[in-house]
Structure 1
Amino acid sequence: MPKVTGLEGVVAAETNIGLVDGEKGHLVYRGYWAKDLALGYDFEAVAYLLLNGTLPNESELDSFTKALSSNRELPAHVKAIIDLLPAEMEMMSVIRTAISSMGDSFTQWPPTIDQAIRIISILPTIIAYRYHQTANTAFVAPNPSLGHVANYLYMLTGKEPNTAHVRALNAYFILTMEHGMNAGTFAARTIISTQSEIASAISGAVGAMKGPLHGGAPSEVIQMLNEIGDISNAEAWMRDVLSSGGRLMGFGHRVYKTRDPRAVALREVTSHLIGEDPWFNFAFEVENTAIRLLEEYKPGRRLYTNVEFYAAAVLSAVEMPTELFTATFTASRVVGWTSHLLEQVAINRIFRPQSIYTGEMPE
């Protein structure tokens, strides 16, 4: 009997939230191309779409934006718990602990959209609070006049962020909100299917994201770009790596066998920002050289730019600390997770897959 591992290719649920088609390079959110949403909408509108199934009208968007803004404050007991955590505890573990500590606020089952909004709103505040605590700097309270993405940058820096940086990070957040039945989404849907509360389901998803095979941050891409240093060094540096059998970070994807639509959209967004931040121009040139060399060294392998490459460019440009990369990814993906939880409870049946016993039988 063939070995069965990883559930790869096994259909576990029906969903109308998102479509990922790696062969065609398609990423769809609720009937819209994710690329178009990233280029034409703000975080709030796309989060509303994933949670509710339709893009909001002006009144709905205003109400939703206000709901996100009004739910950013951390409860005193969550601050106290974070204050007591060991300094060496990594950010993803802190997020998991903080969300778990809010379980009493989310005991209602089935979970509601108000609970989803609360978790989406508060996650960036958890990250910012812990970041300032470990940096021995003063916590910057949420600014209710700023949108979700701009406020996240504001809480980290204490300064109203550059408009170009907000646009780029907004696109990143939208393009990483949802990505089908990934490990985090599957973990969350499995937990909520037992009629556990939403805090437990999101904590489980955070635990999955914490693993480097799922939530691996684009820090290796940044390391590569830093080692290249200047576009004049790019070809020689990459030829040396490829000749020795090494990998170019940020190229190729397990799912996408054509251009990663998230990378395409981020490239288009950042192309408008070249004059405003030289980092993007450098990234563009490195990408062009890498694609040409990959086709030369590995013809027919279909190794294109993936989302991590442009995520690295965006996160570096906005001066996001590397230790916050996976946490920032989580602050985006929580929109997809909560959308899937709301969908799961509407048609709930507990996840109970079978396994094949490969051990010995008693005599």
Structure 2
Amino acid sequence: MRDPLPRTPVGLDGVVAAETVLSHVDGAAGRLIVRGHDLETLAGMPFEAVLALLWADLLPGSPDAAAIHTALGRARLRAFDLMLPRLAATEGLSPVEGLRLLLGALGDGEAEPHAVLAVAAVPVFVAGLTRRRAGQAPVAPDPARGLADDFLTMLRGAPAGAEAVEALETYLVTVADHGLNASTFAARVIASTEAGLFSAVIGALSALKGPLHGGAPGPVLDMLDAIGSEAAIGPWIDDALRRGERLMGFGHRIYRVRDPRADVLKGAVSRLRGAGNRIGFAESVEREALARLAAAKPLRPLDTNVEFYTALLLEALDLPRDLFTCIFAMGRMAGWTAHVLEQERSGRLIRPQSRYVGPMPAASVRGAA
């Protein structure tokens, strides 16, 4: 009997599972479009302005950047109040696990718009978790500050410099949305069941926790640690390629050319050069890696991806490596919430089919019935 289901590529490659106005990833051209804007044009905008763009027509009244700035400040205060009695419960958990637990405190009965509270809560929770781990008291939010500025202030206990705030804001904007990646798809599946926005974004965070999705920037720094010096770059890369090892921060599942986010973040990182960081060393590693990859794999385009300069930027901001996935979630929460709102409007349960490849019952058993 003919199988009625068409063959599905492993990993759903090439399968269209949703229609969206939010973002488009053109892997062949190395282009990321967010609501009609190329990423490069968004990179200098405040994070709140990008939220206004993503949430346009999805939140009541389509609030502008100024209104979102105000709403996020108020919501950070609410998140801080929710966090304080629950911080002790995060003892012994990793930062991602602690963030997941605290996000569970956001109940469906909250008066704040859920998308606003979800975005506002992440910087408050991550700063609080980090300070508790260091034996320091949490710092209350300042609702007058922008989200990136307030996060660094809550984390450090003192205002951050303008260059640091600008670099972090550029990062948050750059990773705000990126098509139907694993965590965003997970969020849309959960949203399609009408489980609620908080359930959907917690599911997205759980998907991001996996090392094949959100855990790559840390290993980039591990690679730089292993190389160690300028003189060792070439021999180390040659040896890694001979062993068939992957060079962290190079190549991407979607992009067949350079990841546009890498160029945006490289510009942000360049403004942080100095102060004892190793940006210059990493740029040397990038040059040698690209040259050797091109020679070793001429038919397989492997260019710099977003994780390479993410690692450098977050390290230059003195953020611990085990926070990197949480910082990624801080930016991507913008896209997750927008996709959840968009999916909820469709009112359609996501229910794909699977192909059964297991054994069939024996004919004699069926006949005996």
Does the 8 Å contact 1:71/1:117 carry over to 2?
yes
Partner of 2:263: 264
Is the aligned partner of 1:82 residue 2:87?
A: yes
User: How far does residue 84 in structure 1 lie from its aligned partner after superposition?
Assistant: 2.3
Higher mean C-alpha deviation, range 229-238 or range 291-300: 229-238
Aligned residues: 352
User: How far does residue 4 in structure 1 lie from its aligned partner after superposition?
Assistant: 5.4
Does the 8 Å contact 2:72/2:143 carry over to 1?
no
Partner of 1:335: 334
Partner of 2:48: 44
Is the aligned partner of 1:204 residue 2:203?
A: yes
Does the 8 Å contact 1:103/1:197 carry over to 2?
no
Partner of 2:75: 71
User: How far does residue 3 in structure 1 lie from its aligned partner after superposition?
Assistant: 6.8
CA distance in 1, matches of 2:276, 2:24: 33
Select the residue among 10, 14, 26 that pairs with 2:15. Answer: 10
- Secondary structure in 2 matching 1:82: helix
User: How far does residue 185 in structure 1 lie from its aligned partner after superposition?
Assistant: 1.1
Partner of 2:159: 160
Give per-residue Cα distances to partners, 1:188-245, cap 9 Å, x unaligned.
1111111111111111111111111221141111111123333343223222322333
User: How far does residue 175 in structure 1 lie from its aligned partner after superposition?
Assistant: 1.0
Rg: which structure is higher? 2
Partner of 1:98: 102
Give TM-score scaled by structure 1 length: 0.90
Does the 8 Å contact 1:20/1:27 carry over to 2?
yes
Partner of 2:40: 35
CA distance in 1, matches of 2:169, 2:225: 24
User: How far does residue 77 in structure 1 lie from its aligned partner after superposition?
Assistant: 4.7
Partner of 1:138: 137
User: How far does residue 246 in structure 1 lie from its aligned partner after superposition?
Assistant: 2.3
Instruction: Tell me how large the CA RMSD over aligned residues is.
Output: 2.2
Structure 1 residues 11, 316: closer, same or farther in 2, change over 3 A?
Answer: same
Give per-residue Cα distances to partners, 1:166-198, cap 9 Å, x unaligned.
222211111111011111111111111111111
Structure 1 residues 356, 244: closer, same or farther in 2, change over 3 A?
Answer: closer
Structure 1 residues 335, 3: closer, same or farther in 2, change over 3 A?
Answer: closer
Letter in 2 for 1:312: A
Letter in 2 for 1:35: E
User: How far does residue 32 in structure 1 lie from its aligned partner after superposition?
Assistant: 0.4
Structure 1 residues 361, 238: closer, same or farther in 2, change over 3 A?
Answer: closer
Give per-residue Cα distances to partners, 1:304-329, cap 9 Å, x unaligned.
00000000110110011111010110
User: How far does residue 152 in structure 1 lie from its aligned partner after superposition?
Assistant: 1.1
CA distance in 1, matches of 2:82, 2:165: 31
User: How far does residue 159 in structure 1 lie from its aligned partner after superposition?
Assistant: 2.2
Partner of 2:118: 119
CA distance in 2, matches of 1:36, 1:104: 35
Partner of 2:223: 224
Partner of 1:195: 194
Does the 8 Å contact 1:164/1:276 carry over to 2?
no
Structure 1 residues 11, 320: closer, same or farther in 2, change over 3 A?
Answer: same
Give TM-score scaled by structure 2 length: 0.89
Between the aligned residues of both structures, percent identity stands at 41
CA distance in 1, matches of 2:314, 2:271: 16
CA distance in 2, matches of 1:358, 1:313: 45
Partner of 1:60: 64
- Secondary structure in 2 matching 1:177: coil
Letter in 2 for 1:9: G
Does the 8 Å contact 2:108/2:196 carry over to 1?
no
- Secondary structure in 2 matching 1:116: helix
